């Protein structure tokens, strides 16, 4: 049983120095925009570390005898994008145009293109979460809450969600119950980043203070003792954490990337009752986004961490939502993290990662209590987007551009 510390005793543990170091690390995070980057139709920030370059290898100077069209028969695949004209490829000269591509809206002054060959140009991304219920535990609807509307089959060539499941942190089967919620906001001041719903995973109850099944206190028990993925819980430098995890819950998705994708991004925000009392202690609740196969720059497969490689926990450099914190406490209001105990959070953060065009991969969004089942933590996840018109994509996490 943990004994609650006072704020003065927490300060005596040297946490002030820890937070100052984290803030200094955060101040070095930069936002770059070379005018080229887009993510599934929206511009985005590009992390500056752990860089991997993805290229298609297509020679745009090739073409047919008329100088503009490939000499392609109905069953040919001149651009080697996996689709023939008879399969719906509307431009067999360009590997970025076929039924397996994602639409990329063009900037002002550019000529629009029909990347996905559906006879429409620059159509907005689909939204599919308008009618999802708070208590819905269908994992495909969890994917829809993330803005992943396209589904595909294991033997298809189109992009989207191949399979979805709620699991424990190690990938074993789970019964999510109230540890999962599809919310239309998190309190009055935090709205979905895309569509009408966001996915909430919690080591307690994935509910705000005024919703049915709200925890009503800082600790509600869930799935019990779990098995961490290899390499986790990840320690923070100079802050050795416990090795056991509890009340773990995860959404695991199997995805196929669009044939023109260079990467992907998603937004998340992490809340914890561990803050501020348990900074730099063994109780290091965490959120990870575990990708298989792991992209270059991942840490044990995880792609969400700060510029000092600190995992997402109360020790991350971006923990700046709380009374007296740089971003204030507005994003805590109405969530339960404002009334059930002292608590803190990150604001919205964006993680990006590179992907091989047309490839299949899995991503497991997981959170857990570390060291015991007390002092719950919750993560909000939303706005998954494919990045289709950038040259270089990096694994990294930065504050979400406003």
Q: Which pLDDT score, from 0 to 100, does residue 2 have?
A: 55
Which three-class secondary structure string do you get for the chain? CCCCCCHHHHHCCCHHHHHHHHHHHHHCCCCECCCCCCECCECCCECCCCEEECCCCCCCCCCCCCCCCCCCCCCCCCCCCCCCHHHCCCCCCCCCCCCCCCCCCCCCCCCCCCCCCCCCCCCCCCCCCCCCCCCCCCHHHHHHHCCCCCECCCCCCCCEEEEEEEECCCCCECCCHHHEEEECCCCCCCCCCCCCCEEEEECCCCCCCCCCCCCCCCCCCCCCEECCCCCCCCCECCECCCCCEEEEEEEEEEEECCCCCCEEEEEEEEEECCCCCCCCCCCCCEEEEEEECCCCCCECCECCECCCCCEECCCCCCCCECCCCCCCCHHHCCCCCCCCCCCEECCCEEEEEECCCCCEEEEEEEEEEECCCCCCEEEEEEEEEEECCCCEEECEEEECCC
Stretch 313-340: mean pLDDT: 96
Report strand pairing: 377-387 vs 198-202.
Answer: antiparallel
Which stretch of 30-44, 76-90, 233-247, 369-383 has the lowest confidence by average pLDDT?
30-44
Which stretch of 70-74, 95-99, 131-135, 384-388 has the lowest confidence by average pLDDT?
70-74
pLDDT above 70 coverage of the chain, percent = 83
Stretch 68-89: mean pLDDT: 88
For residue 381, is pLDDT > 80? yes
Q: Which pLDDT score, from 0 to 100, does residue 111 have?
A: 86
For residue 63, is pLDDT > 80? no
Q: Which pLDDT score, from 0 to 100, does residue 1 have?
A: 53
Contact present, 191 and 267 (Cβ < 8 Å): no
Mean pLDDT, the chain, rounded, equals 85
The distance of Cα 78 from the centroid of its chain, to the nearest Å, equals: 35
For residue 314, is pLDDT > 70? yes
More confident residue, 166 or 53: 166
Report strand pairing: 198-202 vs 245-256.
Answer: unpaired
Write down the pTM of the prediction.
0.85
Q: Residue 147: enclosing H or E segment and its boundaries? A: none
Stretch 7-31: mean pLDDT: 33
Stretch 292-321: mean pLDDT: 95
For residue 20, is pLDDT > 90? no
Contacts for 285 with CB less than 8 Å, ≥ 6 apart = 203, 272, 274, 313, 314, 367, 368, 369, 370, 375, 376, 377
pLDDT tens per residue, range 171-216: 999 999 999 999 999 999 999 999 999 999 999 999 999 999 999 9
Contact present, 160 and 152 (Cβ < 8 Å): yes
For residue 109, is pLDDT > 90? no
For residue 132, is pLDDT > 80? yes
Report strand pairing: 349-354 vs 263-272.
Answer: antiparallel
Q: Which pair of structure tokens corresponds to residue 343?
A: 């608590």
Report strand pairing: 344-345 vs 263-272.
Answer: antiparallel
Q: Which pLDDT score, from 0 to 100, does residue 27 have?
A: 36
The distance of Cα 207 from the centroid of its chain, to the nearest Å, equals: 20
Q: Which pLDDT score, from 0 to 100, does residue 126 have?
A: 85
Q: Which pLDDT score, from 0 to 100, does residue 212 have?
A: 97
For residue 271, is pLDDT > 90? yes
Stretch 96-116: mean pLDDT: 89
43 band by pLDDT with thresholds 50, 70 and 90: very low
């Amino acid at each position: 049983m943990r004994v609650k510390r006072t704020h003065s005793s927490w300060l005596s543990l040297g946490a002030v120095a820890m937070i100052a170091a984290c803030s200094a690390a955060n101040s070095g995070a930069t936002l770059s925009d070379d005018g080229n980057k887009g993510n599934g139709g929206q511009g985005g920030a590009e992390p500056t570390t752990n860089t991997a370059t993805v290229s298609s290898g297509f020679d745009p100077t090739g073409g047919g005898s008329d100088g503009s069209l490939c000499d392609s028969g109905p069953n040919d695949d001149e651009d080697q994008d996996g689709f023939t004209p008879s399969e719906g490829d509307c431009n067999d000269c360009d590997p970025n145009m076929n039924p397996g591509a994602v639409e990329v809206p063009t900037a002002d002054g550019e000529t629009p293109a029909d990347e996905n060959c559906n006879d429409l140009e620059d159509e907005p991304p689909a939204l599919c979460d308008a009618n999802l219920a708070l208590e819905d535990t269908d994992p495909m609807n969890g994917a829809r809450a993330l803005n992943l509307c396209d589904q595909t089959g294991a033997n298809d060539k189109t992009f989207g969600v191949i399979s979805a499941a709620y699991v424990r942190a190690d990938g074993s089967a789970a019964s999510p119950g109230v540890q999962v919620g599809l919310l239309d906001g998190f309190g009055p001041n935090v709205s979905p980043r895309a569509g009408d719903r966001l996915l909430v995973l919690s080591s307690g109850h994935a509910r705000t203070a005024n919703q049915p099944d709200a925890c009503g206190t800082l600790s509600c028990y869930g799935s019990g003792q779990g098995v961490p993925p290899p390499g986790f819980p990840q320690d923070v430098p100079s802050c050795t954490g416990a090795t056991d995890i509890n009340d773990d819950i995860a959404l695991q998705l199997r995805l196929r990337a669009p044939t023109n994708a260079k990467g992907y991004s998603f937004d998340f925000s992490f809340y914890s009752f561990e803050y501020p009392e348990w900074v730099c202690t063994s109780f290091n609740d965490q959120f990870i986004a575990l990708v298989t196969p792991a992209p270059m720059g991942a840490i044990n497969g995880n792609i969400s961490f700060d510029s000092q490689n600190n995992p997402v926990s109360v020790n991350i450099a971006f923990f700046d939502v709380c009374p007296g914190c740089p971003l204030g406490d507005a994003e805590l209001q109405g969530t339960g993290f404002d009334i059930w105990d002292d608590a803190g959070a990150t604001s919205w953060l964006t993680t990006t990662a590179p992907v091989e065009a047309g490839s299949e991969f899995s991503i497991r969004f997981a959170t857990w209590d570390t060291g015991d089942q007390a002092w719950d933590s919750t993560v909000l996840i939303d706005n998954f987007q494919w990045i289709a018109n950038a040259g270089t994509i990096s694994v990294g996490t930065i504050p979400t551009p406003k």
